[in-house]
Structure 1
Amino acid sequence: MNKIELLRYCEENGVPYCIDSSNEQRYYFRNEVRLDILPYLSRFNPRLPEALARLSEIAAEEDAWMAGETEAAFKRLVRCSGGECAMDRRPFLGLHVALQRRLIKLILNYLSLETETASFERIETIRLAALGEETTWTLDAGGGIRCVREYDTLRWISQRDGRSLPGRTGRYAYRVSADCRLLHVPEAGCSFRFDEAPGGEKTRPSGRMEACFDADRLAYPLTVRNRRPGDRMRVIGLNGSKKVQDMFIDEKIPPSRREAMPLLTDSEDRIVWIPGLRRSPFALPDDSTRRVLRVRVERCTDAE
């Protein structure tokens, strides 16, 4: 029901009413629209107000439906922990472009109180970067949030309250004496277990998180540390050495994990093992081995 109908009803039925004088003040933009713009446009379409009302109702219902679809996609695809949200890139690529934009905005709203600062241009920049071929990048998403791509993982990280980007672990190094049996490495979220056995027993590791060495050929003390600039390693089956950085890239190790990953070195700082990645030819057990050192890496929650 429009205003003219309301006024006619009041006059025909003797219903008293009052008029807000501010309704006639063009200082307010809404009044300019109602008093000037709509009457002018109605010259071309007399039923323009009704058409706009219908459009508003349709848009509201479609917006509500899209909001529900976005919430469902958020619950299905996005993993949130603390001040971070992450999701796999491939399912994101399968979403309709409208849903991609809304999902990015919902993630930004989830992590930041500044919900209206996520402009279309910023959201579109993130979306197009996620679609691109570059496998690792970081973008300022606004509101104290960084968007990071690590291969097929997209991450949104809040930097509020001094929270820093992942991967900035800082240097660490732990010395390992010959009698050490258990070493906790909190920076890497794991523990190293060292067990010794007589030669001649099984010397093949049970998996990539275990390595076997000839204990008498190892140069003690050993060290568990993270990587250093220029680190290189000799690898079994490879002539010469290879940069540790290149190995991480070949194995698609996310940049946020590279600084924390532990390396095992000997007393001459030669890298003898990168758990889960590569083994060097140093101190390999053979038929003449008298003592076998078995090194196993466990998650801290699994260690004693």
Structure 2
Amino acid sequence: MSVSPFLQSIHEFVEDKKLLDKSGPVIVGVSGGADSIALLHVLKSLGYSCIVCHCNFNLRGEESLRDRNFTRQIAFEWNLPFEEISFDASCYAMTNNVSVEMACRQLRYDWFEEKRKQYRAQAIAVAHHRDDSVETLLLNLIRGTGIAGLTSMKPRNGFVVRPLLTVSRKDIESYLSEHGVSYVVDCTNLESVYIRNKIRLQVLPLLRSINPSVDHSIYSSILNLREVESVYKAAIHEQEQNVLEYKGEYIYIPVEKLKQLPSPKAFLFEFLTPYGFVSEQITEIISSCGGISGKVFLSRNYRIVKDREYLILESQEREEAGTVVEKIESLEECGTLLHGNLLYRCLDNDETYCFSRDKSYACFDLDKLVFPLIIRRWETGDRFTPFGMRGSRKLSDYFRDKKYSLIDKANALLLCSGNTIIWILGERAADGYRVTVDTKRIIEFKYEK
């Protein structure tokens, strides 16, 4: 049995892009419209095991119910499993302060992913085609975009695959007509309410009057830009390896190395966008590189701190200044604190005890300590009396003299006896609790970062 050129082109596209195989079922998003019905018919004809999944967003009254009933009937006639869900998309959009379009997208893909896991499906197939890719490019240009936006829709995005990207809407309608397959028409697709519809109904017809082959020209440009993007991403990846410094939970970007890159802004855009930073912020971050330390830039879950010689990326999930990390009501003869990072032992003061000069160690007169001992973060206004000095000084001044970065200061932990700071963990101890010849019992701490 011969395969039509339409089916053959999709089969070759799926094989070339490694979108699907016959190893497991495929979740197929089906609205009842021409595109999704064609996708379902094609995948079934090519021998894939399909699960029909339909979302009712309750936005078009009786028409929404019509689409649902039609899709269920198609699944029944083609002997395919049918799953459905009903959403109040308008309420979701209002509650989450997003557009109705974005609400539908979020609800749809979250549910598709649930179904994929339930059926252990290999992928989620959606019906975007070549015309959709052209419209998306124009939409991205209108909104402003980088090279990723210029490459429009990808054949694969995680578990989501787009087998129809190689064919046009006109090809799809011809295929359905040849096979006598019916579908429903969404009346809102004929309205110029949404930006995408305006592009489809007004902008593209105007462009076609200038160049009848404009759809093909734009799609060819998309394919060319994808090749350019692969080179671009490889260069960005190489720059990341040469520039970024990973220190525990923090990522350091040396300002001088950043300035030496061919395009610091492009580098930061590609690196920081996945962390939730937007283009306007990245412009401000670049400007801050020539300024003083201390400026902070926030995304939803991350922050960039401008330090002396670095931009430092960190998560916002950290304790506030002054936060008590651990409270110690009493101590055994020996043990650990801070989840094993702070070791201690109590011992008699005799001539056999040897004081360590290592800053990770600190020892105090045990009988002078006031319980509970507190381990906390530092906060503005903290003062302590460093070992060997008579007067107290601000911790902020001490940190400045020691050239602490903003991250180092934020991470500094203090051991306090009552309200008195007796040790900056891993750094310097205070003077008032020193071991003397009159000390009977010593408590020794060792801090392991």
TM-score, normalised on structure 1? Answer: 0.62
Q: Residue 57 and residue 271 in structure 1: after superposition, are their counterparts in 2 closer, same or farther (change >3 A)?
A: closer
Offset of residue 208 of structure 1 = 0.6
1:87 aligns with 2:252: yes
Take 2:284 and 2:222, find their aligned partners in 1: how far apart are those partners?
29
Contact 2:243 2:258 in 1 (8 A): no
Q: Which amino acid aligns with 1:69?
A: A
- Cross-structure match for 1:118: 278
SS in 1 for 2:426: coil
2:425 aligned residue = 275
Q: Return the alpha-carbon distance in structure 1 between the equivalents of residues 379 and 225 of structure 2.
A: 56
Mapped partners of 1:286, 1:190: distance in 2: 27
**1:74 alignment partner in structure 2:** 240
| Kept after mapping to 2: 8 A contact 1:200/1:287 | no
As a proportion of its length, which structure holds more strand? 1
Rounded Cα–Cα distance in structure 1 between residues aligned with 2:446 and 2:375: 15
Is the CA contact 2:281–2:297 (under 8 Å) kept in the aligned structure 1?
no
Change (3 A) 1:173 1:64: closer
1:183, 1:192 within 8 Å by CA — same for their partners in 2? Answer: yes
Would you say the 8 A contact 1:230–1:243 is kept in 2? yes
| 1:97-129 residue CA offsets vs partner (Å, 9 max, x unmatched) | 41x2222111233334xxxx833x432222222
- For residue 148 of structure 1, the aligned residue among 288, 292, 305 is 305
On the 8 A contact 2:255/2:311 being kept in 1, the answer is: no
Q: Give percent identity, aligned residues only.
A: 18
Inter-partner Cα distance in structure 2 for 1:103 and 1:33 = 34
Matched, 1:185 2:338: yes
In structure 2, do the counterparts of structure 1 residues 157 and 260 end up closer, same or farther at CA, with 3 Å as the change threshold?
closer
Determine which of 412, 431, 448 is the counterpart of 1:261: 412
| d(CA) in 1 for partners of 2:351, 2:372 | 23
Aligned to 1:127: 286
User: Could you tell me which residue of structure 2 aligns to residue 106 of structure 1?
Assistant: 270
Q: How many residues align?
A: 248
Q: Which runs of 5+ in 1 are unaligned?
A: 1-17, 19-25, 38-54, 159-163, 300-304
1:30 to 1:155, Cα distance in 2 relative to 1, 3 A: farther
CA deviations over 1:9-51 (Å, ceiling 9, x no partner): xxxxxxxxx9xxxxxxx975466567559xxxxxxxxxxxxxx
Q: Which has the higher contact order (CA 8 A, sep 6+)?
A: 1
CA deviations on 1:40-85 (whole Å, 9 max, x unpaired) are xxxxxxxxxxxxxxx9999887765443211111234336799x77
Give RMSD over aligned pairs: 4.4
Contact 1:200 1:289 in 2 (8 A): no
C-alpha distance in structure 1 between counterparts of 2:286 and 2:247, whole Å: 22
Match of 1:201 among 349, 352, 368: 352
